Amino acid sequence: MLKHCLLAVIAILLCGCMQNRPNSKATDTAATEVNITDTTGEKPVPVEQLILPGQSIGTIDINENSDSVFRKLGKPDAGDTAMGKSLSTWYTKHDISGYKTQIFFSKQMGAADEVSQVKQIRITSPWFKTMDYMSAGMHLQTIESKKEFNLKKSAQYTDGGKLYFIYDDADAGIAFEIDDKNVCAGIIIHEPRKDATASYIAFHPNTQIISK
């Protein structure tokens, strides 16, 4: 009888010890999860600032109707229209010396639904960024070092006496305008698998295609 009582006491004590021991697997998992969280790097770019190649810049999307764009951005500060194509320009604080947002619209003439849609978006403000934090103001070498895009020098233009080159990833739908110091002066988002220079009304009237 005494023997059975002693065995019962020992069993109870062992059970209590097992319950009080920390769960090493759970602890290790929690530590791993904290480490993963701590190594995420920079914060995600907010949606209103995000550049998505071939898709959008901020709240403006490729193929979005022009009426929707004007409701979001208001009346443009400048514009040009010809043959169902149009180019609208907005300046920061309506100051022509400020950053630009330019949108190229197009509509299919004679179609049942002649709606003007966004085909290209161009920005010069570094406030807008890709998911990898690429933006205007960044050096070409830094952009190329990320190896995210297959950029090819596709065109050139002059502005204010300076020469600029357009580096385009036609398949992805993104192009970078690079100045004579190899610094990005602007970013263009366009439809995937189409050249940035395909717009009927060029962002720069003196744009010249570089022979492929």
Specify the 3-state DSSP secondary structure of 33. helix
Q: How much is the pLDDT for 176?
A: 98
When pLDDT is cut at 50, 70 and 90, the band that residue 112 belongs to is: low
Boundaries of every domain in the chain: 51-209
When pLDDT is cut at 50, 70 and 90, the band that residue 92 belongs to is: very high
Q: How much is the pLDDT for 212?
A: 62
Burial of 169 (0-12, 13-18, 19+ CB in 10 A): buried
pLDDT digits (tens, 9 = 90+) for 117-135: 999 999 999 999 999 999 9
Q: Which two tokens stand for residue 138?
A: 């960044």
Contact 197, 103 (CB under 8 A): no
Residues 92-121: what's their mean pLDDT? 90
How far CA 145 is from CA of 68, 130, 132, 155, 194, in Å, comes to 37, 15, 12, 21, 24
Residues 30-52: what's their mean pLDDT? 65
Reported pTM: 0.79
**CB within 8 A of 209, min separation 6: which ones?**
154, 155, 197
Maximum CA pair distance of the chain?
A: 105
Q: What ranges in 107-167 are assigned the alpha helix state H?
A: 140-145
Q: Which CATH architecture has domain 51-209?
A: Sandwich (2.60)
Q: What is d(CA 6, CA 22) in angstroms, rounded to the nearest whole number?
A: 27
Q: How much is the pLDDT for 79?
A: 95
